[in-house]
């Protein structure tokens, strides 16, 4: 007998294995990602649609998330690896590690598709864009900020380095490269990007 996620939420519904809440959470997250990846994108995601696909009641979802924007962001965060901690050996090594981790995420067809789906919906769904930036984008950008600031303090980078523009240059080089499928990235693409950036950013 198969127990649905909704049954697992009910008293006595759990039959060993994962806790009831974890089982329901997994079903809800997967349902959200499936709907988000569908042709309708963000517009295809609703609490009702997620509940039906996950086999849970709407109240089960609302107990965990206030609305679909928070649910979508949590679903994306569940499948995207957190940024690596800077090792501190050198600015170059740390930047390569950060950008390569993002490159690997963007190379994942599912993650890449979902990223651009959310980015493309920013104007129509500003709350979603704000939550996504705060939860997923900014932590990665903050790691790069830390690396650049440490590089300035250590004398590796110029004291007048424009950090906001540097962030855009480095992050954009990885994000936007995947939008050109006819021109695949070479294996050392991230290293090339960082080395080119450091040509102008290094302390003289």
pLDDT truncated to tens, each residue of the chain (204 aa)?
Answer: 333 444 444 433 444 444 447 889 999 999 999 998 886 789 889 999 999 999 999 999 999 999 999 999 999 998 888 888 988 789 999 999 999 998 888 777 777 778 878 888 888 889 998 999 999 889 999 999 999 999 999 999 999 999 999 999 999 888 776 666 656 677 889 999 999 999 999 887
Q: Which of 58, 77, 96 is the last residue of a domain?
A: 77
Q: Are residues 43 and 89 in the same domain?
A: no
Indicate whether 121 and 193 sit together in one domain. yes
pLDDT at 8: 42
Q: What is the pLDDT of residue 166?
A: 96
- Tell me the CATH number at 103: 1.10.357.10
Structure token pair of residue 52: 């039906």
Q: How far is CA 35 from the centre of its chain?
A: 17
35 and 52 co-located in one domain: yes
Q: For the purposes of burial, counting CB atoms within 10 Å of the CB of 118, is it exposed (0-12), middle (13-18) or buried (19 or more)? A: buried
User: Is 30 in the same domain as 101?
Assistant: no
The predicted structure's pLDDT at residue 40: 78
**pLDDT attached to residue 66:** 92
Residue 54 and residue 103 in one domain:
no
Number of other CB atoms surrounding residue 67 within 10 Å: 14
Cross-strand pairs, 198: none
Cα radius of gyration rounded to whole Å, the chain: 20
Query: Rounded CA gap, 138 and 90, in Å?
Result: 22
Distances (CA, A) of 123 to 36, 49, 120, 153, 202: 17, 23, 8, 38, 37
Q: What is the pLDDT of residue 156?
A: 94
Q: Count the domains in the chain.
A: 2
Alpha carbon 108 to chain centroid, angstroms = 12
Mark whether 119 and 181 lie in a shared domain: yes
Q: Are residues 114 and 169 in the same domain?
A: yes
Predicted pLDDT at 102? 87
Interaxial angle between packed helices 47-54 and 20-37, expressed in degrees from 0 to 180 and rounded to the nearest 10: 120
Q: Are residues 109 and 18 in the same domain?
A: no
pLDDT of amino acid 184: 66
In the numeric block, which tokens belong to residue 11?
């008293």
pLDDT of residue 178: 64
Distances (CA, A) of 39 to 50, 108, 113, 153, 192: 15, 18, 11, 48, 35
Cβ pair 129, 122 in contact under 8 A: yes
Same domain, 63 and 100: no
Per-residue tokens: 62: 């609302």
Q: Are residues 99 and 73 in the same domain?
A: no
What pLDDT is recorded for position 64? 93
Residue 167 has φ and ψ, to the nearest 5°, of: -60, -45
Q: Which domain holds residue 109?
A: 83-201
Question: According to the model, what pLDDT value does residue 183 have?
Answer: 63
> Model-level pTM?
0.77
């Amino acid at each position: 007998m198969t127990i649905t996620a909704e049954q697992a939420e009910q008293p006595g519904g759990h039959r060993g294995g994962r806790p009831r809440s974890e089982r329901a959470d997994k079903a809800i997250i997967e349902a959200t990602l499936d709907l988000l990846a569908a042709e309708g994108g963000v517009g295809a995601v609703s609490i009702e649609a997620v509940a039906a696909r996950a086999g849970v009641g709407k109240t089960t979802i609302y107990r965990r998330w206030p609305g679909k924007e928070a649910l979508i962001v949590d679903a994306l965060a569940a499948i995207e690896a957190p940024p690596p901690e800077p090792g501190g050996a050198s600015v170059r090594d740390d930047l390569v590690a950060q950008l390569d981790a993002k490159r690997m995420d963007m190379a994942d067809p599912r993650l890449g598709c979902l990223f651009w789906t959310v980015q493309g919906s920013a104007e129509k769904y500003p709350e979603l864009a704000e939550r996504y930036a705060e939860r997923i984008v900014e932590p990665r950008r903050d790691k790069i900020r830390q690396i650049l600031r440490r590089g300035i303090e250590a004398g590796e980078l110029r004291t007048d380095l424009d950090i906001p523009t540097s962030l855009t240059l480095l992050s954009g080089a990885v994000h936007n490269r995947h939008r050109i499928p006819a021109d695949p990235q070479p294996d050392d693409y991230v290293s090339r990007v960082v080395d080119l950036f450091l040509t102008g950013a290094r302390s003289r």
